[in-house]
Amino acid sequence: MGSHISTLGEVTWGGRVRPRFQSEVWSIAMEAAKNTSRTTIGNMVSSSERVVLHFLDGGVSDTRGTFDASSGMRWFGRLATAYILYRLGGDARLLLKVRSIPTLAELTIEIERK
C-alpha cells in the first residue's frame, strides 16, 4: 500500500473511487471498519447490493448491480476520507484543504479506541 497521491482527482472521479484504487481503498476500510452493513434492493431479474464499511465519522460504500450514477465505490465522512488519503500516501490536510484535520496518528488512535 501507500502509492503517493498529489490530487484528489487521481483517486476519485464524479464522487466515486477510481477503479485502480478500489482494492486498496477497500482494504484500508476493511482494516478500520467497526461494523458493516449490507442492503440488497430488487428482485431475481434486476437487483443491486450496497455494502458499507463504517469507521470514524463515515466509511466506504460499494454499490454493484446498477448501471447508473449510484453504482460504484465512494467514501464519506471527513475523518474517514482523511484517514484513507493518508493511508494512500497523500497529505489529507492539503488534499481536502482543511488544516484542522487530525494527523494519521491521531486518526489511528481514534480507530483503535472504538
- The helix or strand, by DSSP H or E, that contains position 28, with its residue range, turns out to be helix 19-32
pLDDT tens digits, 69-114: 667 899 999 999 999 999 999 999 999 999 999 999 999 999 998 7
**Residues 6, 23, 50, 80, CA torsion sign:** negative
Question: Residue 49's pLDDT is what?
Answer: 85
Cell of 90: 497523500
pLDDT tens digits, 33-74: 999 988 887 766 667 788 999 999 999 999 887 666 667 899
pTM, entire model: 0.87
Enumerate residues 6+ apart whose C-beta is below 8 A from 14: 69
